Structure 1
């Protein structure tokens, strides 16, 4: 029931596009823009090119982060994220987190999923190419990123519990909690920076989750 309510809410966000052309990807947009593509066959049997364009810093007018769906290079639909665009055979789901893209997948009518292909010049595209060209090193980088995030999570949870326990109603009900960790400031900063870098790397592979948000 909750999922259906969420679907209806996301459907209401979708607005028609004005047919404007898809802007070229520029090198200075490496860290601020995500662009994913996909080819689908329409009901008439003709293939069409679909592109999802997301500006991570938000639109210039109001700062709102939106996903734009282009079909054959023309703007077809616009939606605030998280977005869900109807396409032939299913829907394209777009979710953006604090460190980048979380999802940009085609969800078919039968429930199967397929990630869209990142633009080769985007940060996600460059990370995907590194994975193809150097799979062993890529797995090592991924493991280090996950380790950095997990260490950050282990440090964040006690601090979060201590903060929550200091809320007067909570303190009166269950008492206060004192974190057993008393680490020097430089180490906390180092771990925090490492967790942020690890979360960004995971977002480039669309692996970011709530763990990254909490750890960082």
Structure 2
């Protein structure tokens, strides 16, 4: 959930849309774009489709990651992430991690929330389809991803701490630390690759934990 401070900051970041049409998801965009949809009923009883489009690598002009909100395929608003857009009956909250989306949820004033539906052509949509069609395989992939990140944290963190404490100013003030685990370079590379894959798999399901998914290094607790 967004804190009150983050909510106020998100409100100041919103800029009105320019009315351009939402572009359909292309086959070459799964790694660089996330697209989610939300169907609501307006005050007049008509159905509305709200869409959130995020270019995960940032905009081409300045590299900033922004969320764009569309209503019935028409651009309604833009905000840097983390973003919170007012929509019919609540707000849509959007946030990213280093590996993709960590949040894209519709939240009502009484605190109820639900995740938006990923576009079927997107990587998130394909992962959601696997969860529907092959729930056993989906759960297994989820368990493996979680286990890889736990192993990476237990084995990799002490080695990182050791390297940091070898820096002279750090060693002078806090002393040095010797990791109880030292992996060969090849295994460290393999662990790094496995960690990237596991974190990316979790991001496709919008699963996020501050300790496992990099929030510790972003100053989150």
Give the TM-score, by structure 1 length: 0.93
**Structure-1 residue corresponding to 2:110:** 110
The count of aligned residue pairs is 215
3-state SS in 2 of match to 1:28: coil
Between the aligned partners of 2:190 and 2:215, the Cα distance in structure 1 is 16
3-state SS in 2 of match to 1:148: helix
Q: How does 1:117-132 map to 2 (within 5 A)?
A: 117-132=117-132
Provide Cα deviations, 1:21-56, integer angstroms capped at 9, x if missing partner.
000111111211110001112222322100000111
Between the aligned partners of 2:203 and 2:114, the Cα distance in structure 1 is 17
- Residues 214 and 177 of structure 1: is their aligned pair in 2 closer, same or farther, counting only changes over 3 Å? farther
Contact 1:153 1:214 in 2 (8 A): no
Q: How does 1:113-152 map to 2 (within 5 A)?
A: 113-152=113-152
Bigger Cα displacement from structure 2, 105-114 vs 203-212: 203-212
**RMSD after superposition:** 1.9
C-alpha displacement of 1:174: 3.9
C-alpha displacement of 1:168: 5.1
Between the aligned partners of 1:29 and 1:193, the Cα distance in structure 2 is 21
**Structure-2 residue corresponding to 1:88:** 88
Give the TM-score, by structure 2 length: 0.91
Contact 2:159 2:182 in 1 (8 A): no
**Structure-2 residue corresponding to 1:45:** 45
Between the aligned partners of 1:109 and 1:165, the Cα distance in structure 2 is 47
Q: How does 1:65-84 map to 2 (within 5 A)?
A: 65-84=65-84
Provide Cα deviations, 1:99-123, integer angstroms capped at 9, x if missing partner.
1110000111110110000000100
Greater helix percent: which structure? 1
3-state SS in 2 of match to 1:186: helix
3-state SS in 1 of match to 2:91: strand
Bigger Cα displacement from structure 2, 109-118 vs 59-68: 59-68
Contact 1:148 1:195 in 2 (8 A): yes
Contact 2:123 2:204 in 1 (8 A): yes
**Structure-2 residue corresponding to 1:55:** 55
Contact 1:106 1:115 in 2 (8 A): yes
C-alpha displacement of 1:161: 2.3
Bigger Cα displacement from structure 2, 99-108 vs 175-184: 175-184
Unaligned runs of 5+ in 2: none
C-alpha displacement of 1:193: 0.5
Is 1:180 the counterpart of 2:177? The answer is no
